[in-house]
Amino acid sequence: MVVRLQRLPASCKRDRYTASEFLFVKKYMPQRPIALVTGASRSIGIGSSITKELAQSGWDVALTYWQPYDVSMPWGSDPREVQLLRTKVESFGVRSTAIEVDLSLADSAVRIFDTIEHDLGSVTAIVMAHCHSVDSDILSTSVESFDLHFAINARAAWLLVREFGKQFQGEFGTGRIIAITSDHTAGIFPMVLVRVPWIELCLLRHKNSERWASQQM
């Protein structure tokens, strides 16, 4: 629904909208909206798929990635994939920027939004599809690994949401915050390191829902 309501008429065919949708977008989003998608480094990943769909729907897109993480994973990393994704995105007639950033660093959110503001403009929506997930069990998980999971899966998400709230300049009701993660029950301890931070983020969202409403999100 978010993407559907905010397709940009200038970049898409008029017949993709109902009359009310067309008027809504024309009135409240006269400029092309800008989305930040985190974790969009692999062509077959969720983040990349979302990035392409947003671009096809008329959004300018900023994406973040961190190749050292992909290199450490079984699927490996192809440095060409990010540029290929940007080429595909821009083939829809929109703008893009790509930011390689380590989300475990406390200043990463500020640097991300500063770069997007410089390259594209003010962000309209954030889609958090990043994740740090390294398999281990309760005996083999190190303190460093445990801390890294929370730094990326929980703290980075909070910092991104906070920075988005600080810089949001859109019309009332047009801001969007979306958080995505995968889930399963096999090998439950590794997934606890992924799921618990996201549960904390959900609690953060619930506790601050009135604040986000006042911030037009």
- pLDDT, greater one: 97 or 19: 97
pTM (predicted TM-score) = 0.72
pLDDT digits (tens, 9 = 90+) for 110-168: 999 999 999 999 999 999 988 777 776 778 778 887 888 888 888 999 999 999 999 99
What local confidence, expressed as pLDDT, does residue 20 receive?
53
pLDDT, position 4: 32
Q: Is the pLDDT of residue 174 over 70?
A: yes
The confidence band for 182, taking pLDDT boundaries of 50, 70 and 90, is low
Residue 69, exposed/middle/buried by CB under 10 A (0-12, 13-18, 19+)?
buried
CATH 1.10.569.10 fits 2-214, yes or no: no
In sequence order, what are the beta bridge partners of 36? 62, 126
- Measured from the Cβ of residue 29, the count of other Cβ atoms closer than 10 Å reads 19
Contact 184, 191 (CB under 8 A): yes
Q: Report the length, in residues, of the chain.
A: 217
Give residue 45's pLDDT: 80
How far is the CA of 67 from the CAs of 49, 102, 119, 145, 204, in angstroms? Answer: 18, 9, 21, 18, 29
Dist CA 39 CA 84 (whole Å): 15
| Per-residue pLDDT, 43 | 74
* Single-letter amino acid code for the residue at 200: E
Q: pLDDT tens-digit profile of 44-99?
A: 788 889 999 999 999 999 999 988 767 666 666 677 888 999 999 999 999 999 99
